[in-house]
Chain A
Amino acid sequence: MSDFILETEALTKEFRGFVAVNGVSLKVKRNSIHALIGPNGAGKTTCFNLLTKFLDPTRGAIRYNGRDITRLKPADIARQGLVRSFQISAVFPHLSVLENVRVALQRQRGSSFDFWRSERVLDQYNERARELIDWVGLSEFADTIAVEMPYGRKRALEIATTLALDPEMMLLDEPTAGMGHEDVGRIAALIKRVAQGRTVLMVEHNLSVVADLSDTITVLARGEVLAEGNYETVSKNPDVVQAYMGAGHG
């Protein structure tokens, strides 16, 4: 098996002539934390949506575990173990925290089309759901309706839900966006724990989080790869400094 779990080859996305992502070739190493950073409008989120198949690339190929997934549907790549999060917190707002996690655990049953059976059959997943909820530090919220929790807690719930699928690889879209200082620390610590035995690819704005967590960083600017390497290498790269600070600095 190759060292790289996810590879893209000259991935390109055009919107009506505007090139949002241009010939991006990424290689994400197995069991590493890989960050995708760049100034606003660099194409990070577009790139992310291409990888998770929420957008179709104009050109290029995506390979996951050596298999071509370029033309698969989003639900199908999730079934192969590549699970994403969203920029705005993606919970099921009017379900309880326990039910949120259980919806993901329920995937183990395959497709749940059995409308004639009582939902009590889902109680078999309660124990595992509570373990996951404890694990992300939401024990006292298990029966709370998700929408009633503060933002940082929702992101923790989202991670618990994603973990319920036991994904081989997690794609996190700005996991700490819009969070207070305290929450950022908590979520960063959580990501570090989640990443043990998994691969994580994240888009992130908070450079201290990126510096702290990432094994590899890819810097995007104007839809193209500007630099790649660990934090030390990338942060000293003059092109990167210029892209972030504008001309005249550094």
Chain B
Amino acid sequence: MSGSPTPHAKETGMPKHQRAIVVAMVAVLLVLPHLLYPVFVMKVLCFALFACAFNLLIGYVGLLSFGHALFFGWAAYVSAHAAKIWGFPPELAILSGMACGAVLGLVVGALAIRRQGIYFSMITLALAQMAYFFALQAPFTGGEDGLQRVPRGTMFGLLDLRNDLVLYYVVAAIFLGAFLLIYRIVHSPFGQVLKAIRENEPRAVSLGYRVDQYKLAAFVMSAALAGLAGAVKSQIFQLASLSDVHWTMSGEVVLMTLVGGLGTVFGPIVGAAVIISMQNYLAELGSWVTVVQGVIFVVCVLAFRRGIVGEIAAKLKKPL
């Protein structure tokens, strides 16, 4: 398969077919809250953002973090606390959550990137478990109850987020902005070095790249964006709870990314939509949801190793 160079659009640097998909996505996002329950769509967007952030690390640097719930969950706590106790307006509450994700990412990343492969994943898992235990014991997280009834407030003193539809468009805008940012990170000179590290780390070293610095930078970016997703989540549901920091949340984001397509631009969005829809529409099956999820996961790994979007991209021979 000879990859023919795709014509780039002048201003964005995005190939034409990808640009068309983004435009279609914007159109769908505009209409969707009138067809589906807005809170459900917001939940999908929130997890799509989380999965995109995770994919930045595994898909483009080849680092499997098994502790991303740490950034998601703690950012949810911090932004909920900021909004509820400190009375921060939503924009500042969300930013504090994101900052929390970045700082935690710096600490966890600095420790984890010293090891490779499974050991890297284990360190991220271990640190996330420690943070979970801390969330369980610390008084300000509300323990088993979590932080409930987080006020939604007024964004920039203009947008009343108590209105679901207003909140929806704010969330959609945040999602799109973050998605485009991730796209740019991946398709930048920095992203090119990341891909080289993913492909062959010793070779990147032998070309003179100090790979640890690149890995750490990517880790912090991924954690900050996962934090953004968590912070937005606490605004949507007015709740930050233990389930956000639990390891199953880390597992779920892995699942979404794999189902959608690892290392693809649109895969994590599709994966998040599939998994969240399943949880939502199969809810009456109760605990059978996890069984169905398990089956889908096995089918995915056996039949579509590249994930939904990855398989489509391979068929079309175009990067998606």
Q: B199 touches which one: A84, A94, A120, A144 (CB < 8 A)?
A: A94
Shortest CB distance B12–A (Å): 8
| Complex Cα–Cα for A94 and B197 (A) | 11
Segment at the A interface, from B135-143, B208-216, B293-301: B208-216
| Complex Cα–Cα for A52 and B208 (A) | 11
CB neighbours of B192 from chain A (8 A): 99, 102-103, 106, 112, 119, 122
CB neighbours of A91 from chain B (8 A): 200, 203
| Complex Cα–Cα for A111 and B217 (A) | 12
Mark contacts of A169-201 with chain B using CB atoms, 8 A cut-off: 1 yes-contact digit, 0 otherwise: 000000000000000000000000000000000
| Given known A112-B190, A145-B1, contact A83–B205 (CB-CB < 8 A) | no
Shortest CB distance A218–B (Å): 22
Segment at the A interface, from B38-46, B151-159, B181-189: B181-189
Shortest CB distance B282–A (Å): 36
Q: Among residues 213 to 249 in chain A, which have CB atoms less than 8 Å away from a CB atom of chain B?
A: none
Shortest CB distance A133–B (Å): 14
CB neighbours of A121 from chain B (8 A): 189
Shortest Cβ distance from B10 into A: residue:
A120
CB neighbours of B211 from chain A (8 A): 75
CB neighbours of A14 from chain B (8 A): none
Shortest Cβ distance from B207 into A: residue:
A104
CB neighbours of B13 from chain A (8 A): 118-120
B202 at interface, CB cutoff 8 A: yes
B206 at interface, CB cutoff 8 A: yes
B92 at interface, CB cutoff 8 A: no
CB neighbours of B199 from chain A (8 A): 92-95
Q: Among residues 88 to 134 in chain A, which have CB atoms less than 8 Å away from a CB atom of chain B?
A: 90-96, 99, 102-104, 106-107, 109, 111-122
A79 at interface, CB cutoff 8 A: yes
Shortest CB distance B212–A (Å): 9
Mark contacts of B122-136 with chain A using CB atoms, 8 A cut-off: 1 yes-contact digit, 0 otherwise: 000000000000000
Size range of the chain B interface in the assembly: 35 or more
Residue from B8, B185, B199, B211 with most neighbouring chain A CB atoms (10 Å): B199
Q: Among residues 70 to 85 in chain B, which have CB atoms less than 8 Å away from a CB atom of chain A?
A: none
Shortest Cβ distance from A171 into B: residue:
B206
A60 at interface, CB cutoff 8 A: no
Shortest Cβ distance from A77 into B: residue:
B208
Q: Do the beta carbons of B2 and A90 come within 8 Å of each other?
A: no
Shortest CB distance A130–B (Å): 12
Size range of the chain A interface in the assembly: 35 or more
Shortest CB distance A72–B (Å): 12
| Complex Cα–Cα for A84 and B205 (A) | 10
| Given known A75-B210, A90-B202, A104-B207, contact A114–B4 (CB-CB < 8 A) | no
CB neighbours of A122 from chain B (8 A): 189, 192
A202 at interface, CB cutoff 8 A: no
Q: Do the beta carbons of A148 and B207 come within 8 Å of each other?
A: no
B3 at interface, CB cutoff 8 A: yes
Q: Do the beta carbons of B221 and A115 come within 8 Å of each other?
A: yes
Shortest CB distance B112–A (Å): 19
Mark contacts of B31-73 with chain A using CB atoms, 8 A cut-off: 1 yes-contact digit, 0 otherwise: 0000000000000000000000000000000000000000000
| Complex Cα–Cα for A196 and B37 (A) | 70
B178 at interface, CB cutoff 8 A: no
| Complex Cα–Cα for A85 and B203 (A) | 8
A78 at interface, CB cutoff 8 A: yes
A54 at interface, CB cutoff 8 A: yes
| Given known A103-B196, A115-B188, A118-B184, contact A74–B3 (CB-CB < 8 A) | no
| Complex Cα–Cα for A183 and B202 (A) | 25
| Complex Cα–Cα for A116 and B185 (A) | 6
Q: Do the beta carbons of B203 and A90 come within 8 Å of each other?
A: yes
Shortest CB distance A126–B (Å): 10
Shortest CB distance A163–B (Å): 12
Shortest CB distance B187–A (Å): 5
B105 at interface, CB cutoff 8 A: no
CB neighbours of A52 from chain B (8 A): 206
| Complex Cα–Cα for A7 and B33 (A) | 70
Q: Do the beta carbons of A103 and B190 come within 8 Å of each other?
A: no
Q: Do the beta carbons of A145 and B3 come within 8 Å of each other?
A: yes
Q: Do the beta carbons of A109 and B206 come within 8 Å of each other?
A: no
CB neighbours of A143 from chain B (8 A): 2-5
| Complex Cα–Cα for A76 and B206 (A) | 9
Shortest CB distance B236–A (Å): 28
| Complex Cα–Cα for A73 and B184 (A) | 31
| Given known A92-B196, A92-B200, contact A115–B191 (CB-CB < 8 A) | yes
10 closest Cβ contacts across the A-B interface?
Answer: A78-B208, A92-B199, A118-B13, A112-B189, A115-B190, A90-B203, A115-B185, A79-B208, A103-B196, A75-B210
Q: Known pairs A78-B205, A148-B2. 17 more at Cβ < 8 A?
A: A52-B206, A75-B209, A75-B210, A78-B207, A86-B203, A86-B206, A102-B192, A103-B204, A103-B207, A106-B192, A106-B193, A109-B189, A112-B189, A114-B189, A118-B12, A145-B2, A165-B207
